[in-house]
Structure 1
């Protein structure tokens, strides 16, 4: 890792005279929702700063997994990252509320929450950990895949082994449904599914298609159980080095990049399911959501105690 960041620093130092290069890491491919958002962000920064600043994207986790990227941001060794929600509940526990299963009705509900007062308040919370969050983006609504059987209700999940992100809330939710849920870094996931280490996993459609999970998973369930947000985040040192005009340009560019990630994730949600079906996956399009929520009642009581029933009520009530 030190060698990678050393090489990145060397590349930056050899940039054209007068041009500053900022490194932006993200986990997925350049064609993913994060990749599309990162590319739009980089293009906008170049245009809005008159070429004075260049954002250089590093896709596919080439600068580390998301937990590592957060730590590198905090240490000032990485300038920027487009990071999904997965690692943040472990760093800022209050963000775990968004990982509660079936908190959001759909992506439109989530957008209304994150674009409103609640989202603006949470965007400021990153500063407590030495990070500057510029804008919300999107990973997408998370859906379940597995190699064993169709999943339509909570009883169908019992006994399955599933990879779940490094989120205690999501782990608790799935384990309460009888799943043998364990965390695993995303770059190792395909191999773990291929080897049979896990029966299944859950991710947005855009990730499922881009990662070719249809080759190692037979069944897709459109559960939409968690909305996975993303955020364009800067290190404090990189932000402090910008002029006021550049900060405005970065913020505006980040909002546009975040919107593009939503558009790509939404398009994948609409079109990707049919592509997965054609590739051989069986698709359960409708689940018994009420049954899932009943099965999660014990876990939900714990979530209310942790995050506050009123906080959860406010999020659910946003229209």
Structure 2
């Protein structure tokens, strides 16, 4: 854990509380961290959430935002939430299958047809049931947001079929489900924390990676990758989280306001991620990337049949089918 950062944040939080106590006796400051830039889908959602909290609580609460991993990576932020060293965070799906194994089901490649299908799942009974799975781990999920549909980039060749992936070295998030899926496709897949990814691509440590378009553009991966494949192989959700200790200091009306604000912020993150799916791809084309717009999805799913069957044993074949059947 980055002790220096946490000490600095602790003092910053104390200072904000003291100043707000002299200016506006009712204001309380809560710190919210996220991994990407202010202009990212998470940044846009976090800013909307902060504005909605101020509006819905009559400025009794101010959300102080820490973008660009200023308070650590997502695994670190989740741990900081758990022990109460951080008040809030907007975290993508990447670390959660390791923290709450049940969430690994959503990392199964080609589980979702598209983002609209994923929204229906996460906004419906399945998603609401999964929101409650955070509390035993020491934090409360207020609402789902979006990182985006994940797509493949690489520096070697266009990828349109499973055969094109064979032998490529790729970075994937720290998810054993995603690792198993890509390895079943013949990829030399290894995990790596996101902040180290650009350098690893630049040095040739990896041939490729996979991320939502909004992340690819914001991170300027077009500078170190030649080919983009719009595979949409995994939907990467995100969640606006609050530490259990901070949540329990809120009254019932305040908790309701925070949930409503989080839903608004989550929706904005979806909208920004959705726009990136079209505008961002055009931007990457103009930057010189070759784009494979469609893949042989049936061929990918067929290649993953045995692995998907193993996932069925782990998560429940009925649950997987239930998710796939949502319209």
Query: TM-score normalised by the shorter chain: which range applies?
Result: over 0.9
Q: Report the counterpart of residue 279 of structure 2 in structure 1.
A: 271
| Superposed displacement of residue 4, structure 1 | 1.0
Output the CA distance in 1 between the equivalents of 2:227 and 2:4: 40
Report 1:215-226 matches (<5 A).
215-226=223-234
Q: Report the counterpart of residue 149 of structure 1 in structure 2.
A: 157
Q: Report the counterpart of residue 308 of structure 1 in structure 2.
A: 316
| Superposed displacement of residue 8, structure 1 | 1.3
Report 1:1-319 matches (<5 A).
1-15=2-16, 16-17=20-21, 18=25, 19-319=27-327
Q: Confirm or deny: 8 A CA contact 1:12 1:20 kept in the other structure.
A: no
Runs (5+) with no aligned partner, structure 1: none
When structure 1 is superposed on structure 2, of 46-55 and 179-188 the one drifting more is: 46-55
Deviations 1:120-164 (A, max 9, x none): 100011112111000000000000000000000000000000000
| Superposed displacement of residue 201, structure 1 | 0.1
Q: Confirm or deny: 8 A CA contact 1:44 1:253 kept in the other structure.
A: yes
| Superposed displacement of residue 5, structure 1 | 1.4
Output the CA distance in 2 between the equivalents of 1:130 and 1:71: 9
Output the CA distance in 2 between the equivalents of 1:14 and 1:243: 24
SS at match of 1:283: strand
Q: Confirm or deny: 8 A CA contact 1:45 1:55 kept in the other structure.
A: yes
| Superposed displacement of residue 245, structure 1 | 1.5
When structure 1 is superposed on structure 2, of 45-54 and 25-34 the one drifting more is: 45-54
SS at match of 1:127: helix
| Superposed displacement of residue 242, structure 1 | 1.1
TM-score by length of 2: 0.97
When structure 1 is superposed on structure 2, of 57-66 and 13-22 the one drifting more is: 13-22
Output the CA distance in 2 between the equivalents of 1:9 and 1:127: 24
| Superposed displacement of residue 249, structure 1 | 0.9
| Superposed displacement of residue 87, structure 1 | 0.5
Q: Confirm or deny: 8 A CA contact 1:29 1:59 kept in the other structure.
A: yes
Output the CA distance in 1 between the equivalents of 2:202 and 2:305: 33
SS at match of 2:146: strand
Output the CA distance in 1 between the equivalents of 2:248 and 2:270: 28
Output the CA distance in 1 between the equivalents of 2:135 and 2:244: 8
Coordinate RMSD, CA, aligned: 0.6
Output the CA distance in 2 between the equivalents of 1:290 and 1:245: 49
Output the CA distance in 2 between the equivalents of 1:172 and 1:287: 20
User: How many residues are treated as equivalent by the alignment?
Assistant: 319
Deviations 1:70-125 (A, max 9, x none): 00000000000000000000111110000000000000000000000001100011
| Superposed displacement of residue 51, structure 1 | 1.3
When structure 1 is superposed on structure 2, of 45-54 and 145-154 the one drifting more is: 45-54
Output the CA distance in 2 between the equivalents of 1:210 and 1:286: 23
Q: Confirm or deny: 8 A CA contact 1:160 1:180 kept in the other structure.
A: yes
